[in-house]
Amino acid sequence: MKKLLIACLILFSSCTVQKINNSLTKSDIFDKGHLGFMLLDPDKDKVLVDINSDKYFIPASNTKLFTFYTSYTILGDSLINGLNYLERGDSLIFWGTGDPSLLHPDLKNTVALDFLKNQTKQLYLLDNFDQVDAFGPGWAWDWYNYYYATERSAFPIYGNVVRFDKKDENSKFEIIPSQFKNLLKAETPENWKSYNFQRDQNANLFTYQLPEKWEGTFETDIPFMTSPELAAYSLTEVLGKKVTLIKNETYLSANSKKLQTAAADSIYSQMMKISDNFLAEQLLLLVSDQLDNKLSTADAIAYAKENLLADLPDEPIWVDGSGLSSKNMFTPRSIIALLGKIRSEVPLEKIKAYFPAGGESGTIRNWYPSDPGQPPYIYAKTGTLSMSNALSGYLLTKSGKILHFSCLMNNYPISGNELKTELTKVLYYIHDKY
């Protein structure tokens, strides 16, 4: 009787896996492009479904899984090093580590600001901006006006964006930081019915369209062009004391002190949940600073590939922190291996706190919902570019298992919503039956 029961369970499991496989390989939707999918039962170390898992795909923001793992391993989950500084007589010389938190409109960290404000020494900002390219390899030139392509920099301030914020129907909108008020002008066409903010491609000059009697609310972030001069000016304004910009590379190799500022946890959570490209890019700069006191995305990636990711099945083709570049390419089976490394080194409760949760939070709050009254069953990172749609992470089944999955979809001539609708059916079936 016991042998019969075991045989029935094996047969049921085999049928379930076959149905999952068929739902992917015989789908009219998935058949319209290139699909890579892998599903793993880590408790049994058993691959349940394998479709093109050894092929390279453009991962879009699934790249942030690699950025997260590298950052978590190198930086930990406590405070990051947010400022390098030297004391020389009556002078304090300081420079950036890539810390994105200083006066960030959401993170609102003021530790570095308070440190500088309380100094009695003369303040000198050391220019190390030329270590960081504003845009990553393969980024499109016409993204300059959009938050998702906010400029990278050595010393971010205000998240490198101007926030236009109208909190209630009857108030005027605010501009944060206010120093940009004089660089903004209205250009509202007749019969304009909504709001729109634009920046000049080559200067920090902004225009907006907003109906005079429009009573809606909004919050929109437009990247500004970064520079060491603007950083020094902004600090002078907010501190109420002179910050002088200097350039002397010998200081960069000195034995500097490091000021701890923001909680890494808060940066990981925002980066993963809302797929924040700016935070992802800055995290790799923080990793580089931690490793060898200079800012290089390429160096951080090279270190991670050699020392943290050498055991992946396929070498990651990895060029930026966010996944904005279509030069990034990973295989589903390497992402599955990475998910296993994350599970083994990051507590499950932290994974749930960092990752978007299906039907509940982040970029999948409107997708992959659980049954009414039940907790989320998907904790996964999304990825979206015009040629790529991706979802990789952890799937909790009704039987109590935690499965690892990676789905990479490239070159589909249909909308991402169609792909996600089809994928929802597959993932729920796995959740319900396996």
11 pLDDT band, cuts 50/70/90, is very low
**Residue 153, by phi and psi: left (phi above 0), alpha (psi -120 to 50) or beta?**
beta
pLDDT at 7: 44
**Whole-angstrom distance, CA of residue 84 vs CA of residue 77:** 20
Alpha helices in 103-259 (DSSP H): 111-117, 228-239, 249-252
pLDDT at 6: 45
Q: What is the CA radius of gyration of the chain?
A: 24
Q: Buried b vs exposed e over 367-403: b needs ≥16 C-beta within 10 Å?
A: bbbbeeeeebbbbbbbbbbeebbbbbbbbbeeeeebb
**Whole-angstrom distance, CA of residue 117 vs CA of residue 93:** 14
169 pLDDT band, cuts 50/70/90, is confident
Q: What is the pLDDT of residues 196-213, one digit of tens each?
A: 999 999 999 999 999 878
Q: Is the pLDDT of residue 4 over 50?
A: no
Q: Hey, what are 357's tokens?
A: 């949760």
Q: Is the pLDDT of residue 90 over 70?
A: yes
Domain boundaries, the chain: 22-72+283-433, 164-225
190 pLDDT band, cuts 50/70/90, is confident
Mean pLDDT of the region 379-393? 96
Of 107, 81, 98, the residue nearest 274 (C-alpha) = 107
Q: What is the pLDDT of residues 276-289, one digit of tens each?
A: 999 999 999 999 99
Q: Is the pLDDT of residue 266 over 50?
A: yes
Of 47, 15, 52, 59, the residue nearest 35 (C-alpha) = 52
CA 345, 347, 353, 359 torsion-angle sign:
positive
Q: What is the pLDDT of residues 320-368, one digit of tens each?
A: 999 999 999 999 999 999 999 999 999 999 999 999 999 999 999 999 9
**Whole-angstrom distance, CA of residue 393 vs CA of residue 312:** 16
Q: Hey, what are 284's tokens?
A: 């790799």
State which amino acid sits at residue 163. R
Peptide bond into 177 cis (omega under 30): yes
Alpha helices in 293-415 (DSSP H): 297-307, 332-345, 348-354
Strands (E) in 240-396, as ranges, are 243-246, 257-263, 378-385, 388-396
- Select 22-72+283-433's CATH number: 3.40.50.300, 3.40.710.10, 3.20.19.10, 3.30.460.10: 3.40.710.10
